[in-house]
Structure 1
Amino acid sequence: MNKIRAATLGAVLALTGCANLNPFTPYEQPKVEMPAAWTGLPQNAKAYDNAQWWKVYGDATLDQLIDEALAHNEDINVATARIDEARARVVLADADRDPTVTANFQPSITRITKRGSAPTFPGQHFTNTDYLATINASYELDLWGKLRGATDVARANLLATEAARDTVRNSLTAQVAQGYFALLALDAQIDTSRRTLETRQSALKLQQLRMNSGVASEFEVRQREAEIAAVEAQIPSLERNRKAQENALSVLLGRSPRAVMEGNIARGTPTAPADDVVPEGLPSELMLRRPDLRQAEQQLIAAHGNVGVARSAYYPSISLTGYFGGESKHLADLFIGPARIFQFAAAINEPIFSGKRIGASVDVAKAQEEQALAQYRQAIANAFSDVSNALAAQQAAREVRVAETAHVDALQKSLALAKLRFENGISSQLDVLDAERNLLQAQLNLTDAERAQRAAAADLFKALGGGWKAQEASR
């Protein structure tokens, strides 16, 4: 008896000593050297802080398309389903911290042999019935925080999954806006090409009349025909690109295969931002704006927690089990006092030798934490690189659009002068054809420059994390 008491006392003292040891260490956000302020910002720029940043374009059609994409895009649906999965995993992890209670009813009939090695005696019953009914309970004491740590890890993974969904939303809105602008640009380029074709066809008819009158030569007519063929060859390529862009945009909108084949994408009239867009607030706030950075940090938090979960395997596990019920050979006597049975037990399991499995598990968790830390730092560096690139691209796009606008104006005047010189016999038709050819290409370039300026603003909003204020408010 004294030995039992001594063993019990020793176990209690050992557990008390272990209780003062914590396999988990507090998480500390890694220190990152952040810039004090944004650099290279354009002058006379404006900071937009609307959660629905795409409204800066003032296009109701674009607003509707983005709403449709957010509601039906399959990538959004996948990300939402992953959130549901992560939320269920939190419930599973948290359920391990609660007791488990089950009910058991076990009727049985057993017959023993009369020809066995065991002796028999007169009046012996060879057939026995038994009824057993119990309520079973089990519970694991979480003295070292292993189960609580697993729940925290699952919760961090849930937050990372939610941030991943926000990343998909942020990328999707930018893709829809840029795809929409590309579609409008292709529409404008096709319209410009067709107007140019009509103009050149009219000029060809005039040259044919001049040739029939002996004023113009066949060479000049063939030149006009060649220019018409060049524009006619350009239009099918533009129409093919427009169809491909419609299909890509339909997929982003989450439309059915039938709707994708129809390619019915509404068009509106967006405006270019009156001012360049600049980040609002300090660079350090980018950590809160960008969902991919929140995702990377939550993954780091989860990896840090997994180290503690792995270390907790060094500590003993304490389980409490028990049952209460009745057992009788007659079903009617199952719940009477003499048939009552119960058991309450405690089990302590302390690992002594595991072939370095626990140590290897801890090393694996630490290595995964180092990977998550490196990915977190890389994500921050990429984020600031994205913002810097987007700011430079926005400024360059604006300068290109201004230059292309001046280019088109100059070529329009040049074409008018070339026609005037040709009509007065000062220059040949080649000068007119060159001016027309250059003007067409400049007009196509200007259309693309306008698209690029709108797309550059969308890129910057994407780099800044999109509607970050709304996302923070939702939390």
Structure 2
Amino acid sequence: MKRFYPVSLLVLSVLAGCTTVGPDYRLPEQAAMQRPAAQGRFANADGQLASAQAVAGRWWQLYHDPVLNQLVEQARAANTDLRVASANLQKALAVASEVNAEAGPHAAMSASAERARISGQSMLLEEPLPVTNLGDEGIRVAYQLDLFGKLKRGEQAAEANSEAVAAARDLAAITVTAETVRSYVQICSANHGYQVVQQQLGLQQKQLELTRRLASAGRMTATDVLRAQAQRDSVNAALPAYQAQRDAARYRLAMLLGKAPAEALPAAALACAQEPQLTQPIPVGDGRALLARRPDVKQAERRLAQSSAMIGVATADLYPSITLGASAGFTGFVEDLGKRSTQRFGFGPLISWSIPDSGSMARVRAAKADNAAALAHFDGVVLNALREVETSLSLYAKDLQRLTLLRSARDNAREAAAQNRRLYQAGRAPYLTSLDADRTMVSGEQAVAMAESQLAQDQVNLFLALGGGWEDAASVAKPDQH
């Protein structure tokens, strides 16, 4: 026991001076997220199109469209990207549990039996020893002392990693939601545009039939008939494009719902012929709420925290490692195992230390460089989030102004076309004048349909940039901790 005292004193003295090396994580003061300009109101939130109210968690319900609500719920339940993200989160949580377990005691059992001959000279004997049956069985318990915080920093890094993966799952949730809404809107827009063209095609067909009758009566020429037919065919040529757009949106929606393109989709979704409409200004909140809400910002911030913890892990490798261990068992002839003569036991600390060299210091410098890169990436994500919202707000406002002007132009073109058609039928205006008026009207109708579609897409882009919709996503169960 006297020989054990110096070792005990050494362990106690080391324990008394132990500390957690590496920086304690806090958000840097120079981070872009800390700037006052990043925390305030959005410059393009004018109050008529957007309000400063908090972003709605289930923002797609602002459209009051039951079909859309059903599609979003189906996508959240069956989308393959969300399944991958959920599995990745389960893996990250399991890894974090594994890292946390390193801070506890570890036990191992062993048993062996062999027929062997022990070297005689190992026993300081000149004669060989006989061949015998040897056995060993025992148990060992070890506990690593976290003197310099290596295990603690490892736990912090693993926890930050699992939180970053959780944020990645949230990001997948809002992306899938937005793309589901976008695909539905595109189906509605394609059907709407198709109906507009069909209506214009019907007018042009009537105009062609009238021109043919007038030509048969000698009041029009064959050239006029060809011009009317060309105008009808030109309008008719727009139909395949809308059909292709509808099919592409339909197949994209099927994929988002976890279906094959040939599988049936809800009939109401395919029959939608008008883009969903909002009846209130879009709630956008402010910069502070945006940066606290967006999953990609949280993911980048957690990666920054993880890289900070890894500096501590690398620094702790420069210091000694002490493990307290104890073992007991039986070693001897197989037939004598369990007897007092074969008993063995031992306990005490194991000190290991790889003396720091240039490679060890390089790993610390590399960890610090990773931390600097993570901070730069975090700043970039923050600035990009603000840019996306401001850009989406500006485009939404400008496209709404454009739609208002296009609707006015279309209404005027409709009236002009109707007046020219009456004058032409009464013989008071040439046919080319009526034809040009019809072309202007058709272009106006199609421009309005396209502008309405673009405005609906602008709304989806804005909601996606705002980063809401993940809060009530299906929770992922943590692995069993028992």
The TM-score normalised by the length of structure 1 is 0.90
Could you tell me how far apart the structure 2 residues matched to 1:72 and 1:256 are? 12
Deviation string 1:252-279 (CA, Å, 9 cap, x unpaired) is: 2221354289999534455421333142
* CA-to-aligned-CA distance 1:95-153 (integer Å, 9 cap, x gap): 21122211111111125799xxx8658xxx73201221101222211121111210110
Report the AA paired with residue 55 of structure 1: Q
Distance in 2 (alpha carbons) for counterparts of 1:23 and 1:87: 25
1:435 aligned residue: 437
SS of 2:457 mapped into structure 1: helix
Shift of 1:330: 3.8
Query: Aligned residue for 1:287?
Result: 291
Q: Which residue of 2 aligns with 1:304?
A: 308
Q: Is structure 2 residue 102 aligned with structure 1 residue 96? A: yes
Amino acid at match of 1:274: T
Query: Aligned partner of 1:158: which letter?
Result: S
Secondary structure of the corresponding residue to residue 36 of structure 2: coil
1:247 corresponds, among 244, 247, 251, to 251
Name the CA distance, whole Å, in 2 between partners of 1:84 and 1:313: 29
Distance 1:48 1:222, change over 3 A: farther
Pick the aligned partner of 1:30 from 28, 32, 42.
28
Higher mean C-alpha deviation, range 97-106 or range 266-275: 266-275
2: CA distance, partners of 1:75 / 1:314: 42
State the 1:187 CA deviation.
Answer: 1.0
Distance 1:458 1:222 in 2: 44
Question: Identity rate of aligned residues, in percent?
Answer: 25
Which runs of structure 2 are paired with 1:203-218 in the superposition (5 Å)? 203-218=207-222
Measured in 2, the distance between the counterparts of 1:61 and 1:262 equals 8
Q: CA deviation at 1:55?
A: 0.9
- How far apart in 1 are the matches of 2:22 and 2:337? 48
- TM-align CA RMSD: 2.9
Unaligned runs of 5+ in 1: none
Deviations 1:237-259 (A, max 9, x none): 22222222222222222213542
CA separation of 1:367 and 1:185: change in aligned 2, threshold 3 A: same
Moved over 4 A (4+): 1-12, 111-114, 118-121, 260-265, 468-471
Distance verdict in 2 for CA 1:192–1:353, change over 3 Å: closer
1:173 is the counterpart of 2:186? no
Where do 1:199-348 residues align within 5 Å?
A: 199-256=203-260, 258-259=262-263, 265-268=269-272, 270-280=275-285, 282-331=286-335, 333-348=336-351
Cα distance change, pair 325–128 in 1 and its aligned pair in 2 (3 A): same
Give the conservation status (yes or no) of the 8 Å contact 1:289–1:469: no
Q: Structure 1 residue 59: deviation in Å?
A: 1.2
* TM-score, with structure 2 as normaliser: 0.88
Alignment match of 1:74 (pick from 75, 80, 99): 80
Matches of 1:149 and 1:64 in 2, distance apart?
45
Change (3 A) 1:200 1:233: same
Matched, 1:84 2:86: no
Residues 129, 249 of structure 1: CA spacing in aligned structure 2 closer, same or farther, 3 A cutoff?
A: same
Q: Secondary structure at the match of 2:313?
A: helix
Distance 2:416 2:261 in 1: 49
Report deviation, 1:293. Answer: 0.7
- CA 1:258/1:321 → structure 2, altered by over 3 Å: closer, same or farther? farther
Question: Could you tell me which residue of structure 2 aligns to residue 456 of structure 1?
Answer: 458
Q: Distance in 2 between matches of 1:330 and 1:171?
A: 65
- CA apart distance, 1:2: 9.5
Distance 1:317 1:301 in 2: 25
SS of the aligned residue for 1:414 comes to helix
Deviations 1:385-411 (A, max 9, x none): 111111111211221221222122111
One-letter amino acid of the counterpart of residue 22, structure 1: T
Distance apart, 1:364 and its partner CA: 0.6
Alignment CA distance shift 1:198-1:359 (3 Å): same
1:134-149 residue pairs with structure 2 within 5 A?
134-149=138-153
How many matched pairs?
A: 463
Instruction: Write the deviation string for residues 367-393 of structure 1: whole angstroms up to 9, x where unpaired.
Output: 000000011111111111111111111
Per the TM alignment, residue 158 of structure 1 is displaced from its structure 2 partner at its CA by 0.5
Q: Evaluate the alpha carbon distance shift between residue 206 and residue 7 of structure 1 in structure 2; reply closer, same or farther with a 3 A threshold.
A: closer
Taking the aligned partners of 1:48 and 1:426, their CA distance within structure 2 comes to: 60
One-letter identity of the residue aligned with 2:80? E
Would the alpha carbon gap of residues 112 and 235 (structure 1) be closer, same or farther in structure 2, given more than 3 Å must change?
A: same
Corresponding residue of 1:56? 62
User: Are the counterparts in 2 of residues 250 and 265 from structure 1 also a CA contact under 8 Å?
Assistant: no
What's 1:396 paired with? 398
Task: Look up the SS of the partner of 1:211 in the other structure.
Answer: helix
Question: In 2, distance between residues paired with 1:353 and 1:146?
Answer: 15
Distance 1:462 1:26, change over 3 A: same
Seen in structure 2, the aligned counterparts of structure 1 residues 196 and 465 have a Cα distance that, compared at 3 Å, is same
Structure 2: 5+ residue runs without aligned partners? 477-482
Q: Do 1:246 and 1:265's aligned partners in 2 also have CA atoms closer than 8 Å?
A: no
